[in-house]
């Protein structure tokens, strides 16, 4: 092919002339930037301007320097069985490319395009110079970090130099191996270079966005991560970033949409170097605790992410940056999310630890599963030969050079990084388990340690000492028959909500608030209300530490509870999620931080100061007010109106009226904004006076454990009387039959929460025969319960 023929094609294309269909000309990264610059800028989504050095320009460079045959000859020498000479082949090709000269016609066009960008900016511009291969960002292959990018490049000479380095990076050792593993090495792949005006994120912040929750594939959430300075620290896994979870339906309603905010340690800040390029500085400790985005910015990025996803009609992986000079947010990259797009939503594997162990360290869980193996600490990819098949790789951070090693490991642990780091993305892509951001792992673990990794218990992965036993269950929900009676969850842990939402279900019949108070909040609510009156100075100091980010300590309780409740309500939206208000006994409340000062010792806490009786009592009324404030925030401010409320252990209708009046005074008025308030039917008086309770409440939930205990007068925890505790007892069944009868006659909803319908098919048959509306199960019993319900309905 002659030089003239080559020169006839576009060597440079500005972003305003590029569309997504130009992947063959400029690669996925640049085609996407052009598409967004043209189509999304008008919607108010800020995309920095730039241009692409095309794949044709790369081919011209190879042609003019006589490199085509040379590269093919080198690749023929590659050991494709063991890749023993991979680094040598890569180095030889790259050195020869870097010795090449950029053709004069291409050099002139690059200089001209750069000057145009500078003219538009009114100054000599700093630019980002990024590789964009023509096979990049395809579903199933992210090419994450395989090729090189350069930041803070200023001046024509420096730009031309970095363009050549990008060309050479097509033959990085990791890129050659990646193309082989993905089956792309049989295809012609060229490299385009994107040149984009730099956002001065070094003076502000930047990060990564996934338009679905990346671990579970939950589609209604946007995950935003961020750090101070340039976002390379997140991509490289050099820091543990802040995390923000945003709920799409709330965004669409114009409601407050932030489900959760979590500060990362952000120990490093990458900034411009005065001599060009970048340097990584230690972050000031005060800034480490500070979130990199305010609520308005989080929601703006969430809205932009939804618009970008809608435009591309697929889940997206997006990079954002905030300019420290103009204060504006920008989108600097967007590519298809490559993992969940290929998963079968009807197939699910469930892993469960069946024994407990000593917890050594924890971090963000990447991938769902459990495995065990021996630790191997490696400090660089050059030590890859030391890793044996099936060992667990432990290192500080990973970069793309680690990719071939990661496939060999049973699991990966990194001391730094977040859920959008390179290690996390590649681990998902190769199907490996990983724990990232396990900050003390290198101090706690050593080479040779036998450990078990549990990534099946929520978003935090845990490393236990020794080899623990676990079970694996495979589920196929395709074509699964559901009963007419609603199968619902009994749920406590917000971290499991997104995972469980994929199971066949009709919502959550019982969300236990106590788990959140005990595990997340940890402080007795009255110790926050009356903090100044606390007598225990150690507890006072601990509360100060936990609440350090809140000027009002009561807001700590409301905010943490609202985030947890909202996460579960969002996971199952728009299905009902019924939140039971707190039902600790006095001895359990006393175990919370600061709790002993506010709780009196009771001989029989099970029948003591619990449930509804606490809510209106002066000793707890203000604590109940904090619970109600969290519910109001989730429903009214966030728009999660699928959240319903349930009152436990309500002894008399008079007590029920007191609680409802108090709730109304706190802004939770029954039927307002669709609010439904249920009552637990767990005391014989709830059945005997069911008519009166039905006048007050929207429905009942039968608590079979307490109802059995109080009907038979049997302590459900007694080993001696264990055989007498039986939901199938005629007296208990009469109670259940009667309360269902009254509820149905009064047009009220009624369900049951308990284990019996999954353990005993005949009990499920009994409930369905009475016309119950729903049955709620613990997660491990749901599928068996559904099976029993379907069989019962057939009969």
What are the pLDDT digits (tens) for 457-471? 888 999 999 999 999
More confident residue, 750 or 755: 750
Contact criterion met (CB below 8 Å) for 34 and 26: yes
Mean pLDDT of 189-201: 94
Indicate the average pLDDT of the chain: 92
Query: Which letter does DSSP use for residue 198 in this model?
Result: P
* Residue 379 buriedness (CB in 10 A; 0-12 / 13-18 / 19+): exposed
Residue percentage of the chain with pLDDT more than 90: 77
Contacts of 547 (CB under 8 A, 6+ apart): 523, 528, 553, 556
Question: Is residue 82 predicted with pLDDT exceeding 90?
Answer: no
Question: Is residue 24 predicted with pLDDT exceeding 60?
Answer: yes
Residue 136 has a pLDDT of 53
How many angstroms separate the CA atoms of 368 and 373, rounded?
A: 17
Q: pLDDT band for position 140 (50/70/90)? A: low
Question: Is residue 421 predicted with pLDDT exceeding 90?
Answer: no
Residue 141 has a pLDDT of 55
Whose CA is closest to 397, among 557, 544, 280? 280
Q: pLDDT band for position 187 (50/70/90)? A: low
| Continuous H helices in 65-144 | 68-76, 86-99, 104-121
Question: Is residue 186 predicted with pLDDT exceeding 70?
Answer: no
Residue 168 has a pLDDT of 96
Question: Is residue 389 predicted with pLDDT exceeding 60?
Answer: yes
Q: What is the pLDDT of residues 752-771, one digit of tens each?
A: 997 788 888 899 999 999 99
Question: Is residue 164 predicted with pLDDT exceeding 80?
Answer: yes
3-class SS string, 21-77: HHHHHHHHHHHHHHHHHHHCHHHCCCCCCEEEECHHHHHHHHHHCCCHHHHHHHHHC
* Residue 436 buriedness (CB in 10 A; 0-12 / 13-18 / 19+): buried
Whose CA is closest to 178, among 448, 458, 402, 470? 402
Kindly list the distances between the CA atom of residue 419 and the CA atoms of 142, 331, 426, in Å, as whole numbers in the listed order: 16, 19, 11
Q: pLDDT band for position 161 (50/70/90)? A: very high
Residue 1 has a pLDDT of 36
Catalytic residues: 422, 753
Residue 5 has a pLDDT of 38
Contacts of 4 (CB under 8 A, 6+ apart): none
Q: What share of the chain is helix, strand, coil (3-state, %, to 5)?
A: 45, 20, 35
Q: What is the pLDDT of residues 467-494, one digit of tens each?
A: 999 999 888 888 888 999 999 999 999 9
Residue 721 has a pLDDT of 78
Whose CA is closest to 543, among 560, 566, 564? 560
Residue 347 has a pLDDT of 82
Going along the chain from its start, the domains and CATH numbers come out as 3-197 (3.30.1490.20), 202-339 (3.30.470.20), 344-475 (3.50.30.10), 480-794 (3.20.20.60)
Contact criterion met (CB below 8 Å) for 775 and 487: yes
Residue 137 has a pLDDT of 47
**Poorest-pLDDT segment among 130-134, 203-207, 621-625, 744-748:** 130-134
Q: What is the pLDDT of residues 502-542, one digit of tens each?
A: 999 999 999 999 999 999 999 999 999 999 999 999 999 99
Residue 408 has a pLDDT of 82
Contacts of 719 (CB under 8 A, 6+ apart): none
Contact criterion met (CB below 8 Å) for 49 and 197: yes
Contact criterion met (CB below 8 Å) for 93 and 171: yes
Work out the angle at residue 564's Cα, subtended by the Cα atoms of residues 558 and 570, and round it to the nearest 5 degrees. Answer: 120
How many angstroms separate the CA atoms of 514 and 609, rounded?
A: 15
Contacts of 123 (CB under 8 A, 6+ apart): none
Residue 521 has a pLDDT of 97
Whose CA is closest to 700, among 659, 650, 665? 650
Question: Is residue 250 predicted with pLDDT exceeding 60?
Answer: yes
Q: Is the pTM of this model over 0.85?
A: yes
A 10 A CB-CB count for 485 gives 22
Mean pLDDT of 643-651: 98
Reported as type and span, the H/E element at residue 169 is: helix 156-169
Question: Is residue 718 predicted with pLDDT exceeding 80?
Answer: no
Residue 695 has a pLDDT of 97
Q: What is the pLDDT of residues 561-570, one digit of tens each?
A: 999 999 999 9
């Amino acid at each position: 092919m002659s030089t003239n023929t080559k020169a006839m094609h576009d060597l440079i294309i500005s972003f305003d002339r590029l569309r997504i269909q130009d992947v063959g000309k400029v690669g996925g990264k640049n085609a996407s930037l052009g598409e967004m610059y043209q189509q999304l800028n008008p919607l108010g989504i800020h995309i920095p301007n730039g241009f692409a050095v095309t794949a044709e320009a790369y081919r011209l460079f190879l042609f003019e320097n006589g490199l085509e045959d040379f590269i093919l000859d080198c690749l023929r020498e590659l050991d494709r069985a063991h890749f023993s000479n991979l680094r040598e082949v890569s180095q030889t090709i790259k050195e020869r490319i870097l010795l090449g000269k950029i053709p004069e016609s291409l050099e002139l066009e690059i200089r001209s395009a750069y000057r145009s960008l500078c003219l538009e900016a009114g100054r000599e511009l700093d630019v980002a110079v990024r590789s964009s291969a023509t096979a990049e960002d395809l579903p199933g292959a992210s090419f994450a970090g395989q090729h090189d990018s350069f930041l803070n490049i200023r001046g024509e000479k420096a730009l031309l130099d970095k363009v050549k380095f990008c060309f050479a990076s097509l033959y990085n050792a990791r890129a050659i191996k990646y193309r082989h593993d993905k089956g792309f090495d049989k295809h012609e792949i060229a490299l385009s270079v994107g040149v984009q005006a730099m956002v001065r994120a070094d003076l502000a912040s930047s990060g990564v966005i996934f338009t679905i929750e990346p671990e579970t594939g939950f589609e209604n959430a946007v995950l935003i991560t961020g750090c101070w300075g340039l976002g390379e620290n997140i991509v490289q896994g050099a820091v543990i970033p802040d995390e923000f979870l945003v709920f799409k339906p709330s965004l669409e309603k114009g409601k407050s949409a932030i489900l959760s905010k979590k500060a990362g340690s952000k120990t490093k800040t990458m900034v411009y170097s005065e001599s060009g390029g970048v340097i990584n500085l230690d972050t000031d400790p005060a800034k480490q605790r500070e979130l990199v985005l305010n609520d308005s910015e989080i929601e703006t990025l969430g809205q932009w992410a939804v618009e970008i996803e809608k435009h591309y009609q697929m889940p997206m992986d997006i990079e954002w940056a905030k300019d420290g000079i103009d204060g504006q947010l920008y989108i600097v990259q967007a590519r298809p999310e490559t993992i969940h797009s290929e998963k079968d939503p009807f197939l699910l594997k469930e892993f469960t630890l069946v024994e407990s162990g000593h917890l050594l360290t924890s971090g963000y869980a990447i991938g769902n599963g459990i495995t065990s193996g021996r630790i191997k600490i490696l400090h660089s990819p050059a030590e890859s030969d030391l890793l044996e098949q099936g060992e667990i790789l432990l290192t500080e951070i990973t970069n793309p050079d680690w990719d071939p090693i990661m496939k060999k490991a049973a699991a990966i642990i990194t001391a730094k990084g977040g859920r959008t780091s390179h290690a996390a993305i590649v681990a998902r892509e190769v199907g490996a388990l990983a724990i990232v951001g396990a900050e003390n792992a290198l101090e706690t673990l050593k080479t040779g340690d036998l450990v078990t990794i549990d990534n099946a218990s929520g978003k935090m992965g845990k490393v236990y000492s020794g080899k623990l036993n676990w079970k694996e269950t495979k589920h196929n929900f395709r074509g699964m028959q559901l009963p007419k009676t609603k199968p619902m969850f009994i749920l406590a842990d917000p971290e499991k909500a997104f995972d469980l939402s994929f199971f066949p279900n009709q919502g959550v019949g019982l969300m236990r608030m106590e788990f959140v108070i005990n595990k997340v909040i940890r402080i007795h609510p009255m110790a926050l209300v009356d903090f100044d009156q606390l007598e225990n100075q150690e507890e006072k100091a601990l509360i100060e530490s936990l609440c350090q980010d809140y000027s009002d300590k009561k807001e700590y309780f409301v905010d943490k509870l609202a985030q947890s409740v909202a996460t579960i309500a969002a996971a199952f939206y728009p299905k009902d999620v019924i939140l039971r208000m707190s039902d600790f006994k006095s001895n359990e409340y006393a175990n919370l931080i600061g709790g002993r000062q506010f709780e009196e010792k009771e001989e029989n806490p099970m029948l003591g100061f619990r449930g509804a009786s606490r809510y209106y009592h002066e000793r707890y009324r203000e604590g109940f007010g904090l619970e109600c404030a969290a519910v109001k925030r989730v429903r009214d401010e966030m728009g999660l109106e699928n959240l319903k409320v349930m009152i436990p252990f309500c002894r008399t209708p008079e007590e029920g009226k007191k609680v409802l009046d108090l709730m109304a005074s706190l802004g939770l008025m029954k039927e307002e904004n669709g609010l439904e308030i249920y009552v637990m039917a767990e005391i014989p008086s709830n059945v005997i006076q069911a008519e009166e309770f039905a006048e007050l409440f929207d429905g009942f939930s039968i608590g079979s454990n307490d109802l059995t205990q109080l009907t038979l007068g049997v302590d459900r925890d007694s080993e001696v009387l264990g055989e007498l505790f039986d939901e199938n007892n005629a007296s208990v069944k009469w109670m259940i039959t009667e309360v269902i009868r009254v509820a149905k006659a009064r047009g009220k909803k009624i369900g049951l929460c308990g284990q019996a319908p999954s353990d005993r098919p005949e009990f499920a048959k009994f409930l369905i025969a009475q016309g119950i509306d729903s049955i709620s199960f613990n997660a491990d019993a749901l599928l068996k319960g559904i099976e029993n319900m379907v069989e019962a309905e057939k009969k």
